[in-house]
């Protein structure tokens, strides 16, 4: 055992690329031995000893250049929950930091929920509660979530050994929760691998097909890429700029995601491969950019300076796309070695516990912690958590040139609270690019924002919530208002609840007791009836949510399948750009039911802008003056309704058709069947992600036994 732990300690030292002290080596060996003994006799689904998992987690953390305490915590992250080792023992042997990290990871998994919840609610609440606990732990020590990410990464690497149902559930959760967290931390090394592994297990056929095609394209294009790299390297050498020039392919998920979002084939995606230049310092980055533009012409609008204006997670690089002398578009990234290290391992993972923290980095970390604390406190559905983690960002400037990152759609009040709570509390107006704007004004990337302050102002109005987009802003406004008006909020919420109880013909006590029985208080993080009334008053909980619980039985609720008409009307919330603008009132036409990837056109009507497929028969004779240009905008998060006409040989084929649609992620909304003399005609209303998804489904159906034809209405 001593030989094995000593060998492990040397492997950790090699990955860290630093000399460990004698004490650090002793601690790593002691943690290794403790974990090996604790997990003795335990096995994974693959049949290997369970101890191989914490061993691998520790090495992943070493590869991320984490500190020794975090690596030790990775080795021990399962011993409390699975082996009965006490936190006190870990604290005595390895110190308070290791104990706190292990405790944080353990709390994420170790749930104790109300035993009276039914099985369906239990599963949903456990998942939300687990993620909320993870985010709370993350808001206290970033190392907790980095251990959890390493744990999830190794589990995803070995996911082939679990059953298909579990593969899909784990991969979906990883893609929606863990990969976005890695992205927010700037740990692209983990983010990209988590996304690719999720892609592989969610859509195996598509994954391996794309992988084969990309490998073939890389093989055929390698000589040309080497030629471009050599041209750049030669010119940089001539200008006495030391640099490494290397080719890289974007990871598979990002390529596939772009194909889906843009509705394009792989042949239409030209930036799946890029060159990366790593130089000595920031000045050399800009010099290298000038040299590249002197060799080849840049494509306008494709030059991005993430050094001057870093991404919200601290990512820095210069990006440009040029047209080479052979007519190829070529994407090039330029960064120095420090930027490269931070992009690979993440700001938080690389410097927080080992280097001096600059004010810029400290602000990034504090904002990140605050976001996760807000999500943990206020997200009650998985959708809420996903939305917050995946939210898009803009950046704006203070009059002194400081960069402030905000969620897309942010207003001046979000900017004010991002500067400081007191600035937000005394907000009295704003100037954007030197012009006065209303509180509802939507900020755009690059705006210069100045906040007007009134020190005599008594504090934020609850009406400001209508204009706030940032979780930080919403949280601070509610906190202030709640502290100042708690008694009033309780009474207002109680009055709303009293009115509801009269309409439902139940007493207030009966309703409260029922809500507690079904786990409502747990789900919405409510500690008392007074807090429940406050949440009602602040509309953190909708009165309609409670009304629905008492007006629909559980069986009736399960039978509530939306009709095609409802699912179409619900699509009003899907984002399209009308003449390049967001937020224009529009609806999707029922006659042609467009899905992302379709070429679309807008038609001006009294209801707003009707969105049609360009080949829709109903719009061919409409005057051109009534048509407007529209395009899809970030549609990959939504479902779209469409109709397929399928001719099959007999009813025996029906189950096969259903299985194909379900297996490929489609959802049947309505099913009609009609007999013809020689075959059976099916009219299937289904929801899909986009045109690419629909084409995949159609091709699978066409190749199914007993299916004569498949065509779209």
What are 91-104's pLDDT values in tens digits? Answer: 999 999 899 888 87
Mean pLDDT, to the nearest integer, of 57-75?
A: 91
pTM of the model: 0.56
Average pLDDT, the chain: 78
Quote the pLDDT of residue 335. Answer: 94
Q: 414 versus 407: which is more confidently predicted? A: 414
Mean pLDDT, to the nearest integer, of 259-265?
A: 78
Quote the pLDDT of residue 18. Answer: 84
How many degrees, rounded to 5, is the angle at CA 247 between CA 243 and CA 250? Answer: 125
* Res. 109 pLDDT band, cuts 50 70 90: low
Quote the pLDDT of residue 360. Answer: 52
* Res. 195 pLDDT band, cuts 50 70 90: very high
Residues in the chain: 713
Q: What are the CB-based long-range contacts (under 8 Å, 24+) for 413-416?
A: 413/439, 413/460, 413/464, 413/467, 413/468, 413/473, 414/443, 414/468, 414/469, 414/470, 414/472, 414/473, 415/443, 415/449, 415/451, 416/451
Q: Is the pLDDT of residue 198 over 90?
A: yes
Domains of the chain, with CATH numbers? Answer: 2-158 (1.10.3210.10), 205-352 (3.30.460.10), 478-554 (no CATH), 576-632 (no CATH), 640-712 (3.30.70.260)
β-strand pairing of 576-578 with 586-588: unpaired
What are 148-163's pLDDT values in tens digits? Answer: 889 999 999 999 988 8
Quote the pLDDT of residue 26. Answer: 92
β-strand pairing of 608-613 with 640-648: unpaired
Q: Is the pLDDT of residue 350 over 80?
A: no
* Res. 595 pLDDT band, cuts 50 70 90: confident
Percent residues over pLDDT 70 in the chain: 80
621 is an active site residue: no
Most confident range, picked from 395-409, 418-432, 696-710: 418-432
What are 526-537's pLDDT values in tens digits? Answer: 888 888 888 888
Q: Is the pLDDT of residue 175 over 50?
A: yes
DSSP classification of residue 581 = B
Mean pLDDT, to the nearest integer, of 233-243?
A: 91
Quote the pLDDT of residue 411. Answer: 92
* Res. 558 pLDDT band, cuts 50 70 90: very low
* Res. 383 pLDDT band, cuts 50 70 90: very low
Most confident range, picked from 35-44, 254-263, 495-504: 35-44
Mean pLDDT, to the nearest integer, of 681-696?
A: 81
Mean pLDDT, to the nearest integer, of 559-580?
A: 45
β-strand pairing of 273-279 with 576-578: unpaired
45 is an active site residue: no
* Res. 419 pLDDT band, cuts 50 70 90: confident
- The whole-angstrom separation of Cα 273 and Cα 331 is 7
Percent residues over pLDDT 90 in the chain: 18
Q: Is the pLDDT of residue 359 over 60?
A: no
Mean pLDDT, to the nearest integer, of 263-276?
A: 79
Write the DSSP string, 589-652: -TTT---BTB-EEEEEETTEEEEEETT-GGGTTS-GGGEE-EEE-S-TTS-EEEEEEEEESSGG
* Res. 234 pLDDT band, cuts 50 70 90: very high
Q: 430 versus 375: which is more confidently predicted? A: 430
Tokens linked to 608: 């707003």
Q: Select which of 81, 341, 367, 634 is catalytic.
A: 81
Quote the pLDDT of residue 413. Answer: 93
Mean pLDDT, to the nearest integer, of 681-706?
A: 82
Quote the pLDDT of residue 372. Answer: 47
Tokens linked to 89: 């023992």
Quote the pLDDT of residue 712. Answer: 81
What are 137-151's pLDDT values in tens digits? Answer: 555 667 888 888 899
Mean pLDDT, to the nearest integer, of 409-422?
A: 89
Q: Select which of 13, 52, 82, 367 is catalytic.
A: 82
Q: Is the pLDDT of residue 352 over 60?
A: no
* Res. 381 pLDDT band, cuts 50 70 90: very low
Mean pLDDT, to the nearest integer, of 394-420?
A: 83
Cβ pair 38, 28 in contact under 8 A: no
- Lowest average pLDDT, out of 340-349, 520-529, 571-580, goes to 571-580
């Amino acid at each position: 055992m001593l030989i094995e732990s000593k060998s492990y300690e040397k492997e950790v030292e090699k990955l860290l690329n630093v000399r460990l002290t004698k004490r650090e080596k002793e601690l790593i060996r002691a943690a290794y031995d403790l974990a090996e003994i604790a997990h003795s006799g335990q096995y994974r689904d693959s049949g290997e000893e369970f101890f191989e998992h914490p061993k691998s987690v520790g090495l992943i953390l070493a590869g991320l250049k984490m500190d020794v305490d975090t690596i030790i915590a990775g080795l021990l992250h399962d011993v409390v929950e699975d082996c009965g080792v006490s936190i006190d023992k870990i604290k005595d042997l390895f110190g308070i930091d290791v104990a706190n990290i292990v405790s944080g990871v353990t709390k994420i998994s170790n749930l104790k929920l109300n035993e009276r919840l039914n099985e369906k609610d239990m599963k949903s609440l456990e998942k939300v509660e687990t993620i909320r606990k993870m985010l709370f732990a993350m808001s206290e020590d970033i190392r907790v979530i980095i251990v959890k990410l390493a744990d999830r990464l190794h589990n995803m690497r070995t996911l082939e050994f679990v059953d298909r149902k579990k593969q899909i559930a784990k991969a979906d959760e990883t893609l929606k929760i863990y990969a976005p967290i890695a992205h927010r931390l700037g740990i692209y090394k983990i983010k990209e691998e988590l996304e690719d592994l999720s892609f592989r297990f969610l859509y195996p056929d598509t994954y391996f097909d794309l992988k084969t095609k990309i490998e073939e394209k890389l093989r055929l294009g390698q000589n040309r890429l080497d030629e471009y790299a050599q041209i750049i390297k030669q010119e940089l050498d001539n200008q006495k700029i030391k640099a490494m020039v290397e080719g890289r392919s974007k990871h598979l998920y990002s390529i596939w995601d772009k194909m889906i979002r843009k509705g394009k084939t792989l042949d239409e995606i030209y930036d799946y491969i890029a060159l990366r230049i790593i130089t000595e310092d920031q000045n050399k980055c800009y010099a290298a950019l000038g040299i590249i533009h002197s060799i080849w012409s840049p494509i306008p609008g494709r030059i991005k300076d993430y050094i001057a204006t870093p991404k919200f997670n601290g990512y820095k690089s210069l990006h440009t796309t040029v047209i080479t002398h052979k007519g190829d578009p070529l994407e090039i990234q330029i960064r120095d070695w420090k930027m490269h290290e931070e992009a690979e391992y993440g700001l938080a993972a690389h410097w927080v516990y080992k280097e001096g923290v600059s004010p810029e980095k400290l602000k990034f970390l504090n904002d990140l912690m605050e976001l996760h604390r807000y999500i943990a406190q206020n997200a009650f559905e998985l959708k809420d958590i996903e939305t917050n983690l995946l939210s898009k960002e803009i950046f704006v400037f203070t009059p002194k040139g400081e960069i402030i990152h905000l969620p897309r759609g942010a207003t001046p009040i979000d900017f004010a609270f991002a500067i400081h709570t007191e600035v937000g509390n005394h907000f009295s107006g704003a100037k954007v690019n030197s012009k006065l704007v209303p509180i509802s004004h939507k900020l755009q990337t690059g705006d210069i924002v100045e906040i007007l302050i009134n020190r005599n102002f008594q504090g934020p109005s609850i009406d400001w919530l209508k204009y706030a987009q940032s979780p930080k802003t919403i949280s601070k406004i509610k906190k202030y208002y709640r502290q100042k008006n708690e008694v009033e909020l309780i009474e207002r919420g109680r009055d709303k609840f009293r009115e509801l109880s009269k309409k439902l013909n139940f007493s207030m006590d009966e309703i409260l007791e029922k809500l507690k029985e079904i786990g409502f208080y747990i789900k919405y993080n409510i500690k008392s009836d007074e807090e429940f009334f406050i949440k009602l008053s602040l509309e953190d909980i909708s009165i309609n949510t409670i009304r629905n619980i008492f007006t629909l039985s559980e069986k009736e609720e399960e039978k509530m399948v939306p009709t095609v008409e409802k699912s179409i009307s619900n699509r009003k919330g899907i984002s399209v750009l009308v003449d390049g603008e967001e937020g224009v009132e529009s609806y999707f036409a029922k006659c042609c039911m467009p899905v992302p990837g379709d070429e679309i056109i807008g038609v001006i009507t009294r209801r707003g802008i009707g969105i049609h497929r360009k080949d829709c028969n109903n719009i061919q004779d409409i005057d051109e003056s009534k048509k407007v240009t529209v395009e899809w905008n970030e549609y990959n998060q939504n479902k779209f309704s469409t109709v397929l006409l399928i001719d099959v040989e007999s009813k025996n084929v029906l189950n096969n058709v259903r299985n194909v649609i379900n297996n490929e992620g489609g959802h049947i909304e309505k099913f009609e069947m009609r007999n013809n003399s020689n075959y059976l005609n099916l009219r299937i209303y289904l929801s899909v992600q986009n045109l690419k998804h629909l084409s995949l489904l159609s091709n699978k159906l066409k190749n199914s036994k007993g299916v004569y034809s498949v065509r779209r209405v």
